[in-house]
Amino acid sequence: MRRTGLLMLAASLVIAGLVMGPNLPAGQASPAGDQSNFMFQVDGYQTANQGGNTLNLYFSYRYDQGLADADLPDYRALRAVALDYLDRIDPMKNTWWEILDREICTRLAAGFPIEAISCQMQVFPRDRPARDGDPGFHSATYTIGDIAPLAITGPIFVP
């Protein structure tokens, strides 16, 4: 009977640990060696660059090690920086997608507590490919730090 009670107690503690996980009290930093990653996307962004295109944007990043919960940035702030940059580009310059992607990724890495980031910009083909030599879907990826580069395949269809 006593053995059964101990087994039930041990099982309860194991289950409680699995359910609760490694949760930390609010504001406490993660132990050294822990990593916290986050990813978000922006679908269907309309840009005037290079004659006008639709973009999908993907951002995957790792927070600075030991960052306190209270210091985690809201991803919407990163999203706002990326879209503000794209809203302000001069469409007359026809800047290459690779340059735009690199600039956004660099700004995010410098402006937020991010140790590593990968940014991918997918460019949809325009509806007039025969005239302007833009025949299909293409993509640029820029990565800073020790994180796997994004490699999200293109959409199956073009809206």
Q: Is the pLDDT of residue 11 over 80?
A: no
CB 116 within 8 A of CB 142: no
Lowest mean pLDDT of 6-10, 73-77, 78-82, 148-152, name the range. Answer: 6-10
User: Could you tell me the residue range of the domain that residue 97 belongs to?
Assistant: 28-144
Contacts of 111 by beta carbon, 8 Å cutoff, 6+ apart: 81
For the stretch 13-31, pLDDT in tens is: 333 333 333 333 444 444 4
Residue 98, domain CATH: 3.30.1130.10
- What is the tens place of the pLDDT at every residue in 81-133? 999 999 999 999 999 999 999 999 999 999 999 999 999 999 988 766 545 56
User: For residues 60-76, b (16+ Cβ closer than 10 Å) or e, as one string?
Assistant: bbbbeeebeeeeebeee
Helix (H) or strand (E) holding 6: helix 2-20
Res 154: pLDDT? 80
Which DSSP string do the residues of 81-112 spell out, in sequence order?
A: HHHHHHHHS-GGG---HHHHHHHHHHHHHHHT
Residue 128 identity (one-letter amino acid): R
In a domain, 99, yes or no: yes
CB-side neighbour CA atoms (13 Å) of 25: 1
Mean model confidence pLDDT for the chain: 80
User: What's the pLDDT band for 159 if we cut at 50, 70, 90?
Assistant: low
Look at residue 138 and tell me if it is in a domain: yes
Q: Is residue 158 part of a domain?
A: no
Tell me, what's the pLDDT at 33? Answer: 54
Q: How many domains does the chain have?
A: 1
Residue 98 lies in a domain: yes
Q: Is residue 79 part of a domain?
A: yes
Residue 71: inside a domain? yes
Question: Where residue 36 falls among pLDDT bands split at 50, 70, 90?
Answer: confident
Q: What are phi and psi of 5, to 5 degrees?
A: -65, -40
Residue 137 domain flag: yes
Contact between 145 and 51 (Cβ < 8 Å): no
C-beta separation of 134 from 124 below 8 A? no
Tokens of 129: 């490919």
Residues whose CB is less than 8 angstroms from the CB of residue 33 and which lie 6 or more positions away in sequence, other chains included: 65
Pairing status of strand 37-47 against strand 114-123: unpaired
Amino acid in the structure at residue 139: S
Q: Judge whether 61 lies within some domain.
A: yes
**What is the model's pTM?**
0.75
